[in-house]
Chain A
Amino acid sequence: MKNRILVVEDDAAIRDAVLLNLQFADYDAVAFDDGRKAADALEDDHAFDLALLDIMLPGMDGFELFGIMERFGIPVIYMTAKTDSASEIKGLRDGAEDYIVKPFDPLTLMVRIEKVLKRVGKWNAVYRVKDIVVNTETHTVTKGGEPIELQPLEFDVLVALLRHKNMTVSRERLLNEVWGFDYLGETRMVDVKISALRRKLDLEDAIRSIHKLGYRLEDR
Chain B
Amino acid sequence: MKLYQRITLLVSIVLTVVILAVSLSLLLFAKNTILSLSMEQVQRKQKTLRTSFSEMANYYARSDDSEAVHNSLIKLCFNRFSDQSSVLMRDGKPVSTGVTIDPSVYVTSDSEAFSEGTPVAITVQGRNLLIAGSSASVGTETYSVYVVEDITDTYARIQRMAWIFAGVSIAAIALGAVIVMLLVRRSTKPITALSGAAKEIADGAYEKRVAVRTKDEIGTLGEDFNRMADAVETKISELSERNERQRLFIGGVTHEFKTPMTGLILHAGLLRRANLSEDERDASLAHIEAQTQWLERLTQNLLKLFTSDEEIELESVRIPELLETVEEGVAPKLKEKGAALTVQCETDTLVLNPDLMHSLLNNLIVNAANAYDADAPEKPIVLSVTGRTFSVSDRGRGIPKEAIDRIFEPFFRVDKSRSKKQGGSGLGLALVKAIADAHGASIAVDSEPGKGTTVSVTLP
A residues apposed to B, CB below 8 Å:
10-14, 16-18, 20-21, 24, 33-34, 56-59, 81-82, 102-106, 166-169, 208, 210, 213, 216, 218, 220
Contact = CB atoms under 8 A, between A and B. Distances in A.
A56 B262 contact: no
Interface string B247-278: 00000000100111111111101101111110
Given A16-B287, A168-B273, A216-B273, A102 B417 contact: no
Main secondary structure of the interface of A (DSSP, over half): loop
Contact of A10 (B270, B274, B280, B420): B420
Contact of B262 (A104, A167, A208, A218): A104
Given A17-B266, A18-B266, A21-B270, A220 B275 contact: yes
B269 to A, nearest CB: 6
A33 B418 CA distance: 11
Contacts of B269: 17, 105-106, 167
- Most chain A CB atoms below 10 A, which of B259, B262, B264, B267: B262
A58 B418 contact: yes
B429 to A, nearest CB: 19
Contact of A17 (B270, B416, B418): B270
Contacts of A13: 260, 262-264, 266-267, 287-288, 290-291
Contacts of A106: 266, 269-270
B100 to A, nearest CB: 110
B263 A11 contact: yes
Contact of B261 (A17, A102, A166, A213): A102
Nearest to B290: A13
Q: Contact size class for B?
A: 20 to 34
A57 B280 CA distance: 26
Contacts of A24: 274
B415 interface: yes
Given A13-B266, A167-B274, A218-B275, A103 B416 contact: no
A216 to B, nearest CB: 7
7 contacts: A12-B287, A58-B417, A81-B258, A103-B261, A106-B266, A106-B270, A168-B273
Given A12-B287, A81-B259, A102-B258, A58 B265 contact: no
A57 B263 contact: no
A171 to B, nearest CB: 14
Nearest to A220: B275
Contacts of A103: 258, 261-262, 264-266
- Most chain B CB atoms below 10 A, which of A13, A21, A24: A13
B26 interface: no
B347 to A, nearest CB: 40
Contacts of B262: 11, 13-14, 81, 102-104
B283 interface: yes
A50 B264 CA distance: 25
Contacts of A59: 417
B284 interface: yes
Given A57-B417, A102-B258, A103-B258, A17 B273 contact: no
